[in-house]
Each structure stands twice: as structure tokens, then as C-alpha cells.
Amino acid sequence: MTKPEACIFDLDGVIVETSDAHFNAWQRLAESLDISFGEEFNEQLKGVSRRKSIEKILALDDRELPEDEIQQLMDKKNGWYQDSIAELTPDDILDGVPEFLEQLQEMEIPLGIGSSSKNAPYIIDYLQLNSTFGVIIDGNKVENTKPDPEVFLKGARALNADPVKTIVFEDAASGVEAANRGGFVSIGVGSEEYLGAADLVIQNFKDLTPEKLFNQISDK
Ligand code: BG6
Ligand code: MG
């Protein structure tokens, strides 16, 4: 692939590792409801909205609750989650990510965030990444959550980029599906086991240069 028109990054699990904090808070909530789930089920919660996550957890036990209770449960989980992310600092940005972003900036490639999280603005603040991204589309700005491509399509539009010539970086199967459905070049960040639908899977950003990556994409 030649130089892309833009690069859009998922936040949780790509720029910073927050999935354990999400997992722990959901597990704590599920335990209080006498519902249990493990890491494999947790993969299904990655990338999807808070609302969809609670629905999936309740469905594990065919549980139906009134709307106000569902709302209270989501607030409780979010309170625990927010307590844990309040500790984040720029040192928590994943290895190799700052260098990779810097190189993209030097190449004058527009950068965006496409996240399902309504907490994304806080996380970006804690990580001091506000000036790095030309656009931040998060869970507050979309109607349809991943695997719907809305979040990435809005990002590409704001960056004036053609999805076909835009790279999306994602750690969740739902996010890879969203990128593929939107016609983007999808890069899975993590394990081939869950992200096999991506155009290319990388383990992480350590020692990765944009040039190396673009070459690998054209090699496919
Ligand atoms: C995604 C996470 O980025 O955001 C999901 O991968 C999470 O696990 C979703 O459920 C919504 O996050 P929040 O912060 O709005 O509850
Ligand atoms: Mg993610």
C-alpha cells in the first residue's frame, strides 16, 4: 500500500490497555448478580458499547430487568471503571505507539480516534494526546456501535479521507468487522485467533514503522 489518506485508531486495547479494567468492573458487576463469565466471553465485550455489554451479560442467564435497574447497573460499572482509569498517565500509552504516531505525523498523515467508549475524552486527556488526533469520534458521537461502521465512517469524513485508502487499527473482533464493513483497510492488533478477519494482524506496535507496515499491506 502507498501512503494512506488517514489512519484511525481504536483507543481501548490499541493505544492503551484498559481491557482489564473493563473486564474487572464487568466481572464485579456480574458476580453481584450471580452471573459468571471468563476471558473468552470477555472478547465479545471488547469494542461494543456499555449498553450492548450489559445486555450480553444479562443474556448469559436469560435475565430480564427493568430499564431503571439496567441503567443503575451500567452506572455502577462505569463508576468502578472510572476510578481505575483515573490513574492513567502518558506512561501508560502502549509500547511503540508514541514513536509510531510521531512517524505518521512526520509523514503528514491525518490521524483520528474511533472508539465506542463514552469515556474516551477522559482517557485522551489523561494520556495527554489531545493535540495528536485531528478528530476524535467516540461513543458520545455515534448512534450505532461497532460492528456498525458509523464511528469510522464519521472519522474518515471528518479527516476528508476515502475509507478505501484509510487504515483502521483495532484490537476487537467487532471493530475489525466495523472497519471491513466500512470498506477500510483493517489492521488487527493482537491475536490472529480473534482478529483473523482483518486484512493484516500485528501483535503490537513495538519496532513497527509505518513504512514496514505499508509494505506488508501491499504484499498481501
Ligand atoms: C470500548 C471497549 O472501547 O468501549 C468496550 O472496548 C467498552 O469494552 C466500550 O464496553 C464502551 O465503553 P464505555 O467507557 O463507554 O463504557
Ligand atoms: Mg478496543
At 110-167, the pLDDT tens digits run 999 999 999 999 999 999 999 999 999 999 999 999 999 999 999 999 999 999 999 9
Contacts of 99 (CB under 8 A, 6+ apart): 205
Taking the domains of the chain in order of start, what are their residue ranges? 6-17+90-219, 19-85
* Residue 220 confidence class, pLDDT cut points 50, 70, 90: very low
CATH of 19-85 given 3.40.50.360, 1.10.1040.10, 1.10.150.240, 3.40.50.720: 1.10.150.240
CA dist., res. 125 & res. 100, Å (int): 19
**Residue 14: which of 216, 206, 204, 155 has the closest Cα?**
204
In percent, the amount of the chain with pLDDT more than 70 equals: 99
How far from each other are the two terminal CA atoms of the chain, in whole angstroms? 9
For 6-17+90-219, give the CATH class.
alpha beta
Residues with CB under 6 A from ligand 1: 12, 22, 45-50, 53, 78, 115-119, 139, 172
Look up the pTM and report it. Answer: 0.95
CA dist., res. 11 & res. 22, Å (int): 13
CA dist., res. 98 & res. 31, Å (int): 37
CA dist., res. 16 & res. 91, Å (int): 10
Residue from 45, 49, 136 whose mutation best tests the ligand 1 pocket (most atoms within 8 A of CB) = 49
CA dist., res. 114 & res. 135, Å (int): 9
CA dist., res. 197 & res. 48, Å (int): 17
Tell me which H or E stretch contains 170.
strand 166-170
Query: Is the C-alpha dihedral spanning 135, 140, 146, 148 positive or negative?
Result: negative
Residue 219 has pLDDT above 70, yes or no: no
Q: Ligand 2 center to residue 195 CA distance, Å?
A: 12
Strands 185-189 and 200-202: parallel
Same topology between domain 6-17+90-219 and domain 19-85: no
CA dist., res. 194 & res. 201, Å (int): 10
* Residue 218 confidence class, pLDDT cut points 50, 70, 90: low
Q: Ligand 2 center to residue 192 CA distance, Å?
A: 15
Residue 12 appears among annotated catalytic residues: yes
CA-proximal residue: ligand 1, atom 4 (nearest): 117
CA dist., res. 149 & res. 10, Å (int): 12
**Residue 121: which of 133, 111, 110 has the closest Cα?**
133
Query: Which whole number is the average pLDDT over 166-178?
Result: 97
Ligand nearest to the CA of 188: 2
62-111 pLDDT tens trace:
999 999 999 999 999 999 999 999 999 999 999 999 999 999 999 999 99
Q: Ligand 1 center to residue 118 CA distance, Å?
A: 7
CA dist., res. 166 & res. 191, Å (int): 22
14-36 pLDDT tens trace:
999 999 999 999 999 999 999 99
Contacts of 83 (CB under 8 A, 6+ apart): none
